[in-house]
């Protein structure tokens, strides 16, 4: 089992360019998440998908869109990248009972630089 | 508004001694707490969790303590080993809510 995979591992964008970060999990989890990690800020939730067909905003959704393509895949899109979006992006998945979220399993991250 | 706070950015401990990492939270609705460990260039990995109905949970060398009245939890690692050197994140969520909040992390160095 690969767990949670993310592509690409590294990306450099110019201001105004767009890109999509891909994430896939093979653990049959129903919930998936996108976080960004910035120095001194920990991990901040961008968007999450509690189950296939649903998405919700997290703590810092502005400038991002997401798509839950199927149960396995959850993508994050930056329509017009800004330098403030320079960060490390993590995708995660978990089993959601409808009551409490189980522990989340994280991918290796995508390091994005916007110049 | 950081609802989960880890006020110590770093901690250095001698091998074999106890490491104590602290975490405070402000949202009284949080009732499930987790600790994650992160090595450089890797994603965080789950370490241990505790629900609000307990005040202690142990797993081998790792013990998490929860003080609900103080809105405080701590992670104890005994004995500390060099391989424990990593960044530790505290996280919290509320029942019925899929939104998990993380602290800023504490970098533990075991020498």
pLDDT tens digit sequence for A9-18 = 999 999 999 9
Please tell me the distance from the alpha carbon of residue A53 to that of residue A55, in angstroms, as a whole number.
Answer: 7
pLDDT tens digit sequence for B43-83 = 999 999 998 999 999 999 999 999 999 999 999 999 999 99
Residue B40 at interface with chain A, using a CB cutoff of 8 Å: no
Residue A10 at interface with chain B, using a CB cutoff of 8 Å: no
Residue of B nearest to A5 (CA): B43
pLDDT tens digit sequence for A98-108 = 666 678 999 99
At A14, give phi and psi (nearest 5°). Answer: -90, 150
Please tell me the distance from the alpha carbon of residue B101 to that of residue A42, in angstroms, as a whole number.
Answer: 9
Residue appearing with tokens 């690969």: A2
Which residues lie closer than 8 Å to A39 by C-beta, 6 or more apart?
Answer: none
Q: Cα–chain-centroid distance for residue A66?
A: 8
């Amino acid at each position: 089992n690969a767990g949670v995979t993310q592509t690409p591992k590294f990306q450099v964008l110019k201001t105004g360019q767009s890109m999509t970060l891909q994430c896939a999990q093979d653990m049959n989890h129903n919930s998936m998440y996108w976080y960004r990690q910035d120095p001194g800020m920990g991990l901040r939730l961008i968007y999450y998908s509690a189950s296939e067909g649903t998405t919700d905003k997290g703590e810092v959704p502005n400038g991002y869109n997401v798509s839950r393509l199927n149960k396995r895949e959850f993508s994050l899109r930056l329509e017009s990248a800004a330098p403030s979006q320079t960060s490390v992006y993590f995708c995660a998945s978990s089993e959601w009972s409808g009551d409490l979220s189980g522990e989340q399993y994280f991918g290796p991250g995508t390091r994005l630089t916007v110049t | 508004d950081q609802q989960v706070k880890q006020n110590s950015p770093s901690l250095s401990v001698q091998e074999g001694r106890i490491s104590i990492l602290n975490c405070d939270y402000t949202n009284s609705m949080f009732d499930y707490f987790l600790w994650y460990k992160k090595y450089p260039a890797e994603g965080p990995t789950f370490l241990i969790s505790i629900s609000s109905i307990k005040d202690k949970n142990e797993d081998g060398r790792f013990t998490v303590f929860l003080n609900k009245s103080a809105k405080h939890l701590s992670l104890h690692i005994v004995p500390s080993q060099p391989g424990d050197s990593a960044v530790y994140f505290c996280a919290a969520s509320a029942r019925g809510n899929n939104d998990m909040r993380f602290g800023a992390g504490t970098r533990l160095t075991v020498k």
